[in-house]
Structure 1
Amino acid sequence: MRDSILVVNAGSSSIKFKLYRIEGADLAPSLSGGMSGIGSTPSLKVTDGSGALLEDRRFEAGEVPDASAAQHHLADWLLHHLGDTTVVAVGHRVVHGGADFAEPVLIDDAVLRRLETFIPLAPLHQLGNLDPIRVLRQRRPDLPQVACFDTSFHRGHPELSDRFALPRFLHDEGVRRYGFHGLSYEYVAGRLREIAPEVASGRVVIAHLGSGASLCALKEGRSQETTMSFTALDGVPMGTRCGALDPGVVLHLIEHRGMTPAEVGHMLYYESGLLGLSGLSNDVRALLASDRPEAALAVAFFCRRVAQAAAALAVTLGGLDAFVFTAGIGENAPEIRRRIIADLSWAGLILSNDANGSGVARLDASGSRAQIWVIPTDEELMIAKHTMRLLDRIASGARA
């Protein structure tokens, strides 16, 4: 039999999974896929380790109305197709670990109850992250499950980066800047050490630009500051989330427009960002293809705010040795990269237009004061590595 680790990366409308075969100290992907369009146009797609299509199935919306139903469908598919593979553990991406969890943890009843208390801090993600855990605990209570947190990478920030200018007792109660996308930043920082060790230990800003977007300042490979904070609303604008906002706007909406907190929350999470600015779409590809002035405004706003955030993080670092793009937009939108670096030209960053459009990893032109990279992220592999390390530590403790 072949031992493997299953990784589940669940959201509100999709669940991704990867199966990694354990080969000594290494992990080899053997299956990859997921359910998307949950509750609307659900579909299941699975490929093998070489990318060959194994399953491409469409469902009626009523067949997969929620994440729980999607997880059951995925579990059924895996049970019928694993062959001689033995899943020894499941690793999960969990967005919020609060002040309690600074590293991956084996999930038990107490851990699950504590993670449920963080749902209000990440309403778009946390509930979806936890639902597959519950389903698997019902179907396979013997199977170890490990929670890996997007907040963990940012623990240990300098106090200046960790606080809000609010009364101190609120910080003591957990109202602080947590930061997110940590699994992505951790993976990209590791890859940078492999491909550019001369700058990886220096002053680096990574821009994780996708439907959710944030930036992180690293020194010696460790997070120093990041743009998201108490929740995943803060920082740069995103697909449907507003990014940084004067809190007086929230007070105005409640006190003068008569909106309820729930209505304001829905607007800020689901109706703002690129979608709100353009009134057209939250998809950068659609906005770049549009000739509407609203689309152009949304793209310009996004690029300017990302560049401004990068400049602010460079202040924290005392300079910049490398700028790294990652995630869906960062990896696949040369025009967005071009505009962001153009807004940072005052700092001496120079983009090679030829490299930017050619699919290579390093994009800076001769004379640029900082290196510019595109490094694809792999949160699932990071989760699998954390899960395997935790299992090894548990096994070592048991032997001792």
Structure 2
Amino acid sequence: MKAIVTLNAGSSSIKFALYELSADGLRFDAGGKIEEIGTAPRLRARNAQGDVILQRNWPQGNAISHEHLLEDLFAWAATQLGDREIIAIGHRVVHGGAEFAAPRRIDDALLEVLEALIPLAPLHQPHNLAAVRALRALAPHLPQIACFDTAFHHELSALATRLPLPRAFHDKGVRRYGFHGLSYEHIAGQLRAADPERLGGRVIAAHLGNGASLCAMREGRNIDTTMGFTALDGLMMGTRSGALDPGVVLHLQMQLGLAAQEVETLLYKKSGLLGVSGLSSDMRTLHASDAPEAAEAIDLFVRQAARQTAALIPALGGLDGLVFTAGIGENDPVIRARICESLSWTGLSLDTEANQRNANVISAKQSRILVRVIPTDEEAVIAHHVVQLIRPTGSNFQ
């Protein structure tokens, strides 16, 4: 038996999954997450049945590096898989630029190109690539595959990628790229399987989590999206500001004296839900708080999500379906209900009971818009891309 490992390495977390590969295809074996890297790292893994099979906590303040944690994780994966051989590792890489529309096997040349894109994704790209380097040192013989969050958006029209700047800047790569593409690719696939007729309709997918964006799709193909040049654009997020009047950035630097790096830290790490509430970037914490600032942060998040959803409808020429996904989208009926209430003018109405239990379909029978909750699975998308890229013609890996 063969196996594939998928990794999504961020600044303070590493998501991972193990897949068994046989003649019958891919089968999820186990997966989990290492959280709070840099403060008090903790690891939890579950098997395919959802049972916790591994928990580990490191002491608070223990400055354990990503590389050391990956080494521990890789050793556990080898134990978990037993005699099943790991044949490849698939990575989520946030930015693939304008060049890469499909997964690529990682080599020195590709790493150099992806490193040049770090300024466009400073919160994610350095950690994505650090994981690649760590595993190259740990297991140099293993193929590593980069799966790009921007790839799904390569179908955007020329008009949808252009920013209203002089053309010379567009030619230098200053354009809209779009992100969360692996998540939207999964949603498109799920719609294709569950509702092929609606897939041919006009659907907006809302990836609402610590990072948040929207994607307008027709026939499963991307028409427009809220994230643009960087993953800072669009919706208000956990710690990211989302779309701003560019004059705000000029004011912060020219009038208030903030250096460029200070502005970067402010917009990426100190804004959004955290900045407005002054309390937390976690929607669950804000729901539990009586502070008026927490309520205002939630109100602003809902307002912006509804506003930008409505703004995508003209690009589709109407709306047939709305899909909620990611942490907030999948698990927060209050936020879903409030966003949908703001969109009731479209003919959308919710089934309150279905929404409360996070059902697959949460719209009421009389609703003109079909509203779904679909859990995202970026790891499965990565694993399937890895298989397609490395599988020898006519081979079943047996």
Q: Same fold (TM over 0.5)?
A: yes
Report TM bin, short chain. over 0.9
The CA distance in 2 between the partners of 1:75 and 1:64, in whole Å, is 19
Deviation of 1:62 (Å): 5.8
Aligned partner letter, 1:250: V
Indicate how the Cα distance of structure 1 residues 62 and 342 shifts in structure 2: closer, same or farther if over 3 A, else same. Answer: closer
1:66 aligns to what? Answer: 65
Q: How does 1:172-211 map to 2 (within 5 A)?
A: 172-211=171-210
> Quick one: distance in 2 between partners of 1:56 and 1:85?
22
8 A contact 1:34–1:74 mirrored in 2: no
Q: Which runs of 5+ in 2 are unaligned?
A: none
1:295-314 aligned at under 5 Å gives the runs 295-314=294-313
Contact kept, 8 Å, 2:40 with 2:62, in 1: the verdict is no
Give distance in 2, aligned partners of 1:366 and 1:61.
50
CA–CA separation in structure 2 for the residues paired with 1:374 and 1:64: 38
Mapping for residues 1-400 of structure 1, pairs under 5 Å: 2-61=1-60, 63-392=62-391, 395=393
CA shift for structure 1 position 64: 4.9
TM-score by length of 2: 0.96
Please, what is the CA RMSD of the aligned residues?
1.4
State the AA in 2 paired with 1:245. Answer: L
Cα deviations by residue, 1:228-276 (Å, 9 ceiling, x for unpaired): 0010110010000000001111011110111100000000001100111
CA distance in 1, matches of 2:191, 2:184: 10
Q: Percent identity?
A: 53
Partner SS, residue 155 of structure 2 = coil
1:287 positional shift:
1.2
Task: Output one character per residue of 1:74-118: Cα deviation in whole Å (capped at 9) or x when no partner.
Answer: 123223443101011110000000112111000000001111111
Distance in 2 (CA, whole Å) between partners of 1:69 and 1:61 is: 16
- Cα deviation digits, residues 112-138 of structure 1 (max 9, x gap): 111111111111111111111101111
Q: Which amino acid aligns with 1:40?
A: T
After superposition, give the CA deviation of every residue in 1:330-359 in whole Å (9 maximum; x if it has no partner): 000000000000000111111111111123
| Residues in 1 aligned to 2:69 and 2:125: alpha-carbon distance in whole angstroms | 16
Gaps of 5+ in 1: none
3-state SS in 2 of match to 1:99: coil
Residues in 2 aligned to 1:162 and 1:184: alpha-carbon distance in whole angstroms: 20
User: What is the alpha-carbon distance in structure 2 between the residues aligned to residue 162 and residue 354 of structure 1?
Assistant: 40
Q: Within 2, Cα distance between the matches of 1:137 and 1:204? A: 40
How far off its partner does 1:291 sit?
A: 1.8
Q: Is the 8 A contact 2:96 2:114 kept in 1?
A: yes
Given residue 289 of structure 2, which amino acid in structure 1 is its aligned partner? S
Aligned mates of 1:50, 1:368 — CA distance in 2: 35
Contact 2:2 2:85 in 1 (8 A): yes
Cα distance in 2 for partners of 1:64, 1:179 equals 34
CA–CA separation in structure 2 for the residues paired with 1:46 and 1:346: 43
In 2, Cα distance between equivalents of 1:20 and 1:154: 26
TM-score in terms of structure 1 length:
0.96
Tell me, in whole angstroms, the C-alpha distance in 2 between the residues paired with 1:159 and 1:11.
31
**Partners of 1:368 and 1:8 in 2: CA distance:** 39
CA contact (8 A) 1:35 1:74 kept: no
* Equivalent residues of 1:89, 1:146 under 8 A apart: yes
The worse-fitting range, judged by mean Cα deviation, of 65-74 and 9-18 is 65-74
1:372 Cα deviation from its structure 2 partner: 0.4
How far off its partner does 1:316 sit?
0.4
- Counterpart-to-counterpart distance in 1, 2:110 and 2:394: 22
Q: In structure 1, what is the Cα distance between the partners aligned to 2:68 and 2:166?
A: 44
Letter paired with 1:281 = S
